[in-house]
Chains A and B, each alone.
Chain A
């Protein structure tokens, strides 16, 4: 257990479905992040939340919608995804402006069929 918990671990969804990924951290961090990792590719930063405000959106398609209701929880709402969106989605948290020690969750393996 890393202190960052992601659910579900695995998700299979159709292109017309709506689903949400959940991330929860118990480390008292004030920043949270969503990353996407496709097969054999580096991690891609998707969204950054600092003090519950979105501060970064790296040209992510609108079919991905993040939500950060409080500093401990982060969601990624998914709708009308494409097969190429299949990937490992990783959540991370940090104490911003403190150190570079990000804590990652184990990820959600998403398959879009």
Chain B
């Protein structure tokens, strides 16, 4: 599984757009990029997944450059309820043997 590097923490204010970047220099050809969100004392929740270019859903957007060595999770107009830890994971979703390995994640704090 490719190693990922994210900022440990980020601060933002309500209404701002937040971009969290994840580095994965050793990403393999078959690897996908997936982001999870975790609130305190709850299990992580799947946010978005992508392979290349841009993916958008009702919650977030995921930008992946052509070399795929990094990715950026974009949260539009954050609110206080977006305060959480965000995890970036990289792996071959079809042959990763059922293992989902989490790193430290990015602790996002949204202030009023």
Residues of A within 8 A of B (CB): 2, 4, 31, 33, 35, 42-43, 45, 48, 50, 55-56, 88, 90-92, 94, 96-107, 109
Interface residues on chain B, number (Cβ under 8 Å): 25
Cβ–Cβ contact B98 & A99, under 8 A: no
Report the minimum CB–CB distance from B106 to chain A (whole Å).
12
Cβ–Cβ contact A104 & B98, under 8 A: no
Expressed in whole angstroms, the Cα–Cα distance for A45 and B101 within the complex equals: 7
Report the minimum CB–CB distance from B100 to chain A (whole Å).
6
Cβ–Cβ contact A94 & B98, under 8 A: yes
Expressed in whole angstroms, the Cα–Cα distance for A90 and B96 within the complex equals: 20
Report the minimum CB–CB distance from B56 to chain A (whole Å).
17
Q: A42-B105, A100-B93 are in contact. Are A105 and B98 (CB under 8 A)?
A: no
Expressed in whole angstroms, the Cα–Cα distance for A80 and B101 within the complex equals: 27
Cβ–Cβ contact A102 & B42, under 8 A: no
Query: Among the listed B34, B42, B97, B103, which residue makes an inter-chain contact with A100, where contact means beta carbons less than 8 Å apart?
Result: B34
Query: Among the listed B49, B98, B103, which residue makes an inter-chain contact with A56, where contact means beta carbons less than 8 Å apart?
Result: B98
**Other CB < 8 Å A-B pairs besides A31-B98, A42-B102, A104-B43, 15 of them?**
A2-B43, A4-B43, A42-B103, A48-B99, A55-B97, A90-B44, A91-B43, A94-B98, A98-B93, A100-B49, A100-B100, A103-B46, A106-B43, A107-B41, A109-B41
Report the minimum CB–CB distance from A16 to chain B (whole Å).
27
Cβ–Cβ contact A42 & B49, under 8 A: no
Query: Among the listed B42, B43, B99, B104, which residue makes an inter-chain contact with A42, where contact means beta carbons less than 8 Å apart?
Result: B104
Identify which of A56, A101, A102 gathers the most chain B CB atoms within 10 Å of its CB. Answer: A102
Cβ–Cβ contact A43 & B102, under 8 A: yes
Q: Which residues of B contact A106 (CB under 8 A)?
A: 41-43
Interface string of B6-37 (1 = CB under 8 A from A): 00000000000000000000000000101010
Report the minimum CB–CB distance from A45 to chain B (whole Å).
6
Expressed in whole angstroms, the Cα–Cα distance for A91 and B96 within the complex equals: 18
Q: Which residues of B contact A101 (CB under 8 A)?
A: 34, 46, 49
28 CB < 8 A contacts A-B: A2-B43, A31-B98, A33-B100, A43-B44, A45-B99, A45-B101, A48-B97, A55-B98, A56-B97, A88-B41, A90-B43, A92-B43, A92-B100, A97-B94, A97-B95, A99-B49, A100-B46, A100-B89, A100-B91, A100-B100, A101-B46, A102-B44, A102-B100, A104-B42, A107-B41, A107-B42, A107-B43, A109-B41
